[in-house]
């Protein structure tokens, strides 16, 4: 633990910044924790930071201390409606990199119109928990390489699940896949904690425009509907018109937006 006074002239309050772990900081006022900061590398290599503080002074001191000790670039995500938090990060030198829309996606096939959707000939949908792990990892790696070679994986929605280094398929049971006899063509990952979240829907570049993504979505939403969930959630980058059209075409509603900021 490394404790040191950190003064910057932002406030007359005596706030001490304590680094309590490799990627964790506390702001202390007379031994009372008045703010917490955390840093984490996402699976795509980007470094994200977060700060939880009620007042401006602890936030500013934490941001200054953390940014002085972390490599750049540094990213964070905020709810666009939270103008106060956005202003705090801007004050720390962050600028808007992109916007993500959060969609509420209905699961009832009578609403989505996906009740009769089937995969193309020769392709089957393997339900979550039944995929061959070797083939699943192969298609995940292939899709990530294709994205990285084109728009870059950093253009994808900011992932919230921490992955062990070098492993992007942490829980194979969360994936349904589109399969031929000897390989997988696409995948969809659905994670349910409090509410179902579609974390990834992707198809290999040479197999797109065949209805595979739509069939994967129909399968996943149908499974959730049978499990009693009325809605799922998904994040789509503002510039991804194809993904927005896919979700809006089945009745998904944009509920709010998140900003990814970078310094």
d(CA 86, CA 90): 6
d(CA 68, CA 92): 11
**Beta strands at 74-79 and 47-53: parallel, antiparallel or unpaired:** parallel
Q: Is residue 92 domain-resident?
A: no
Task: Pick the range with the lowest mean pLDDT from 10-19, 117-126, 157-166, 239-248.
Answer: 157-166
Q: Which of 54, 71, 88 is the endpoint of a domain?
A: 71
**Do 67 and 105 have their domain in common?**
no
User: What value does the mean pLDDT take over residues 136-150?
Assistant: 87
Number of domains in the chain: 2
Write phi, then psi, for 126 (nearest 5 degrees): -95, 120
The pLDDT of residue 43 = 66
Q: Is residue 88 domain-resident?
A: no
pTM, two decimal places: 0.75
Q: 1 near 18, Cβ under 8 Å? A: yes
The pLDDT of residue 239 = 85
Burial (CB count <10 Å: 0-12, 13-18, 19+), residue 25: buried
**Do 140 and 50 have their domain in common?**
no
**Do 119 and 209 have their domain in common?**
yes
Write phi, then psi, for 119 (nearest 5 degrees): -70, 160
**Do 131 and 196 have their domain in common?**
yes
d(CA 146, CA 141): 9
Is residue 245 pLDDT above 80, yes or no?
Answer: yes
Nearest to 250 by CA among 100, 102, 107, 118: 107
d(CA 33, CA 254): 37
**Do 137 and 212 have their domain in common?**
yes
Is residue 9 pLDDT above 50, yes or no?
Answer: no
Domain with 22 in it: 2-71
Which carries the bigger pLDDT value, residue 14 or residue 98? 98
Taking all residues of the chain, what is their mean pLDDT, rounded to a whole number? 88
d(CA 10, CA 154): 33
Is residue 154 pLDDT above 70, yes or no?
Answer: no
Q: Is residue 192 domain-resident?
A: yes
Is residue 184 pLDDT above 70, yes or no?
Answer: yes
Q: How confident is the model at residue 1 (pLDDT cuts 50, 70, 90)?
A: very low
Q: Is 242 helix (H, G, I), strand (E, B) or coil?
A: helix
Q: 197 near 233, Cβ under 8 Å? A: yes
The pLDDT of residue 25 = 96
What is the tens place of the pLDDT at every residue in 35-86?
999 999 886 778 999 999 989 999 999 999 999 999 999 999 999 999 999 9
**Do 50 and 107 have their domain in common?**
no
The pLDDT of residue 80 = 93
- Take residue 210 and report the two structure tokens written for it: 């065949």
Q: Is residue 93 domain-resident?
A: no
User: What is 146-193 written as a DSSP string?
Assistant: HHHHTT-GGGS----S---TT-S-S-GGGEEEEE-SS-EEEEEEEEES
The pLDDT of residue 242 = 85
Q: Is residue 16 domain-resident?
A: yes
User: What value does the mean pLDDT take over residues 202-217?
Assistant: 94
């Amino acid at each position: 633990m490394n404790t040191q006074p950190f003064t910057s002239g932002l406030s007359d309050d005596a706030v001490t910044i304590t680094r309590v772990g490799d990627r964790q900081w506390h702001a202390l006022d007379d031994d009372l924790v008045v703010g917490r900061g955390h840093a984490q590398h996402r699976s795509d290599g980007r470094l994200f930071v977060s700060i939880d503080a009620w007042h401006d002074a602890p936030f500013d001191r934490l941001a200054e201390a953390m940014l002085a000790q972390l490599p750049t670039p540094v990213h964070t995500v905020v709810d666009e409606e939270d103008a106060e938090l956005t202003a705090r990060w801007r004050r720390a030198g962050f600028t808007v990199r992109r916007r993500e829309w959060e969609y509420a996606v209905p699961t009832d096939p009578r609403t989505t119109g996906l009740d009769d959707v089937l995969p193309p000939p020769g392709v089957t949908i393997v339900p979550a928990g039944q995929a061959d792990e070797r083939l699943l990892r192969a298609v995940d790696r292939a899709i990530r390489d294709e994205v990285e070679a084109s728009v870059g994986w950093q253009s994808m929605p900011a992932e919230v699940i921490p992955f062990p280094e070098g492993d992007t398929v942490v829980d194979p049971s969360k994936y349904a896949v589109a399969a031929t006899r000897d390989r997988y063509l696409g995948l969809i990952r659905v994670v349910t904690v409090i509410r179902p979240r579609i974390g990834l829907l992707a198809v290999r570049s040479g197999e797109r425009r065949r209805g595979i993504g739509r069939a994967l979505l129909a399968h996943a939403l149908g499974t959730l509907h049978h499990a009693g969930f009325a809605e799922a959630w998904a994040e789509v980058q503002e510039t991804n018109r194809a993904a927005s059209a896919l979700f809006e075409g089945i009745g998904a509603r944009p509920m709010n937006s998140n900003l990814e900021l970078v310094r």
